[in-house]
């Protein structure tokens, strides 16, 4: 069984696909829109993307397709349906987007990483399976925090805060943390700060000397999570899934510019069981710094509270979404 990725023509998608080591094909695709000009672009890209995926299915003799949502899934799923190829849709966020609701109608089976938020339009007959994580994102139980910290050049015996907002970083988080560095709010804690390629919002000096280690990108998230005693993150579906699987107490600032607030709802299961705290991103650096200082005061200095948060995540681990999808593929191809 040989996997093959279908991605958009955006350079970032191609880079991520290349880094995965898997074969991939970039197809024309555009977001669904009701605006006339953007709508025409969508229709043109949809037809071209469907045609390109049909050709790929024929050339590779694809036996099954897993769609993970977004605007690339629309033409790809339509092609699979026309070719008679079984296809499943995995909705990764707690609030299914318009593209996923559209695509779900054409999928053979529909899965959801998280329970759909009560006020969102649900996907019909979606099975909740947990976020399908890469094995490389979850540290084995045998991995030691001290060794993980040494891998990044951190002090092995010092408490560590992981600051991570996805591969591109987050300007508002960087801006707030820059102010916390100035105020000494983190005390004796060191940081592993994944800043994003441009470290936007940190300023030319980056993080203060002795504060820890800053990286533009991290390709060993398993070790980053194992090094961490606490994390400050966004609440994208993958980040929530990784924090939960690695049982790292987290402070989450959901991305503030999504109208449906799906990141806040992604984090809700972790908040409900006591493993995470959600803080509204107020966008203003000073206001964000002030509220983070208050939250950190109650978490960073309280070992018992952090242990309780971590144990809550261990006691209520979500299902293994990756294994469920592997089982689905196996059932389709008869392997």
Q: Any idea where the domains of the chain sit in the sequence?
A: 4-130+319-333, 136-315
Report pLDDT for 275.
98
Residue 277's pLDDT band, with cuts at 50, 70 and 90, is very high
What is the rounded average pLDDT for all residues in the chain?
A: 93
Long-range contacts of 113-120 (CB under 8 A, 24+ apart): 113/237, 113/241, 113/321, 114/237, 114/240, 114/265, 114/266, 114/269, 115/269, 116/91, 117/262, 117/265, 117/268, 120/94, 120/95, 120/96, 120/260, 120/265
* Helix (H), strand (E) at residue 91: strand 87-91
Determine contact, residues 73/67, Cβ cutoff 8 Å.
yes
Task: Please give the CATH number for the structural domain made up of 136-315.
Answer: 3.40.50.2000
> CB-based burial of residue 253 (10 Å sphere; 0-12 exposed, 13-18 middle, 19+ buried)?
buried
C-alpha to C-alpha distance for 140 and 218, rounded to whole angstroms: 18
Question: Exposure string (b/e) for 4-16, b if CB count within 10 Å is 16 or more?
Answer: ebbbbeeeebeee
Predicted confidence (pLDDT) per residue in 152-184, tens digit: 999 999 999 999 986 555 889 999 999 999 999
Gap between the Cα atoms of 2 and 272, Å rounded: 39
Confidence band (pLDDT; 50, 70, 90) for 335? low
Q: How far, in Å, are 5, 66, 259 from residue 19 at the CA level?
A: 12, 20, 31
Q: What are phi and psi of 91, to 5 degrees?
A: -85, 115
Tens digit of each residue's pLDDT (9 = 90 or more) over 174-220: 999 999 999 999 999 999 999 888 777 676 567 888 999 999 889 89
> What is the rounded distance in angstroms from the CA atom of residue 148 to the CA atom of residue 226?
6
CATH class for the region spanning 4-130+319-333: alpha beta
Helices (H), the chain: 11-20, 36-60, 73-83, 98-104, 145-151, 171-183, 221-227, 237-246, 262-273, 285-299, 303-315, 321-333
pLDDT at 203: 64
What pLDDT, in 10s, does the model give residues 102-129?
A: 899 999 999 999 998 888 888 989 999 9
Q: Do domains 4-130+319-333 and 136-315 have the same CATH topology?
A: yes
DSSP symbols for 258-297: -TT-HHHHHHHHHHHHTSEEE----S-HHHHHHHHHHHHH
The SS3 assignment for 31 reads coil
Query: pTM for the whole thing?
Result: 0.92
- If pLDDT is split at 50, 70 and 90, which confidence band does 96 have? very high
Share of the chain above pLDDT 70, in %: 97
- CB atoms near residue 18 (< 10 Å): 11
Instruction: Summarize the confidence of residues 146-156 as an average pLDDT.
Output: 98
| Contact by Cβ (8 Å): 283, 256 | yes
């Amino acid at each position: 069984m040989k996997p093959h990725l279908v991605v958009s023509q955006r350079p970032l998608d191609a880079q991520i696909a290349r880094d995965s080591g898997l074969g991939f094909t970039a197809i024309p695709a555009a977001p669904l829109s009701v605006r006339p000009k953007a709508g025409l672009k969508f229709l043109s890209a949809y037809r071209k993307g469907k045609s390109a995926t049909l050709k790929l299915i024929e050339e590779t003799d694809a036996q099954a397709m897993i769609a993970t949502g977004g605007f690339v899934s629309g033409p790809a799923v339509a092609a699979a349906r026309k070719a008679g190829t079984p296809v499943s849709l995995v909705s990764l966020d707690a609030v299914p987007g318009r593209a996923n609701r559209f695509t779900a109608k054409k999928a053979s089976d529909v899965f959801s990483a998280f329970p759909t938020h009560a006020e969102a339009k649900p996907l019909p007959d979606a099975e909740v399976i947990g976020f399908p994580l890469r094995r490389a994102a979850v540290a084995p139980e045998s991995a030691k925090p001290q060794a993980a910290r040494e891998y990044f050049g951190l002090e092995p015996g010092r408490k560590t805060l992981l600051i991570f907002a996805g591969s591109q970083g987050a300007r508002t988080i960087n801006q707030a943390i820059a102010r916390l560095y100035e105020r000494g709010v983190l005390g004796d804690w060191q940081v592993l700060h994944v800043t994003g390629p441009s470290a936007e919002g940190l300023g030319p000096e980056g993080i203060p000397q002795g504060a820890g280690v800053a990286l533009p990108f991290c390709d060993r998230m398993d070790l980053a999570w194992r090094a961490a005693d606490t994390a400050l993150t966004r609440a994208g579906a993958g980040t929530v899934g990784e924090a939960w699987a690695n049982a790292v107490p987290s402070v989450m600032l959901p991305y503030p510019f999504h109208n449906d607030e799906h990141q806040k709802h992604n984090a809700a299961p972790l908040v409900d069981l006591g493993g995470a705290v959600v803080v509204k991103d107020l966008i203003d650096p000073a206001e964000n710094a002030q509220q983070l200082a208050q939250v950190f005061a109650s978490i960073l200095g309280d070992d018992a509270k952090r242990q309780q948060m971590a144990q809550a995540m261990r006691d209520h681990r979500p299902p293994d979404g990756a294994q469920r999808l592997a089982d689905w593929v196996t059932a389709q191809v008869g392997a």
